[in-house]
Structures are given as C-alpha cells and as structure tokens.
Amino acid sequence: MKTILVLLMLFSTIAMPALAALTDADLNKIRLIVKEEIKTELAPIKSDISTLKEDVARLDGRMNGVEKQVAHATNVTYGLIALIVVAIGIPAWRGKRDHDQERKIEELRQEIETLKQQKIVSP
C-alpha cells in the first residue's frame, strides 16, 4: 500500500505541470508554428495552381485555333455543297427545260400536221 501511495504521489508531481494552463506566449508560439507550417504546405500548392492556370491559358489558345480550323472547314464544306448543287442542278434544270421545249415543239408539229390534213395550210 505504501508503494502505491508513493507511486501515486510521484505520478501526481509529474502530472502537475501537465494540468497547468497555457500562457499567451505559449499560444502565440503555437500560432506562429502553425502559420509557418501552413505557409510551407501552401507554397507548393500555390505554385501548382499557377502552373495549372498557365496550362489552361495555353489550352484555351489551342482551342481557339481548333475552333477557327473547324469554322474554316465548315465554310469550305458549305461552299462545296453549294458547288455540287449548282453542278448537278443547272444541267438537270436545263434538261427539264429542254424536255418541256421539245414537248411543245412536238405539240406544235402535231398541230401543223393536223392543219395540213385539214388543208387549212396550203403546202
């Protein structure tokens, strides 16, 4: 029992400084240490962020170039489509017009033949 009592007193004297309150100087030292640690931890993160911003700016430039190329290709495609429509449409339109004219000529020939047969038109 004496041993337990002696050990209890020994542990109490050792634990006594641990129960003491922190002073303002101690708190300021802790704050300073924490701030320094945060600064050292944030420095590489800030540099990473700045390099990422530079990379994003460079990619934006590339994207603008790609958008211009796509717009140019689209305009060229529209031009080619218009050219193809004209190349196919004009001959088809002319063919239809020629066919209509030939039909009218044929109708007029038949009418002339009919008139010849009726002897209205003298040969």
pLDDT, tens digit (0-9, with 9 covering 90-100), for 14-38: 766 655 677 888 889 999 999 999 9
∠ at Cα 33 (29, 36), nearest 5°? 140
* Per-domain residue ranges of the chain: 24-117
Q: What is the mean pLDDT of residues 38-56?
A: 93
* Gap between the terminal Cα atoms of the chain: 158
Q: Can you give the pLDDT at residue 2? A: 82
Answer yes or no: is pLDDT of 57 > 60: yes
Q: Can you give the pLDDT at residue 31? A: 93
Sign of CA dihedral 32, 37, 40, 46: negative
Residue 116 — pLDDT band, cuts 50, 70, 90? confident
Residue 120 — pLDDT band, cuts 50, 70, 90? low
Q: Can you give the pLDDT at residue 84? A: 94
pLDDT tens per residue across span 60-109: 989 999 999 999 999 999 999 999 999 999 988 888 999 899 999 999 99
Distance CA 52, CA 58 (A): 10
Q: Which of 6-10, 101-105, 111-115 has the highest mean pLDDT?
A: 101-105
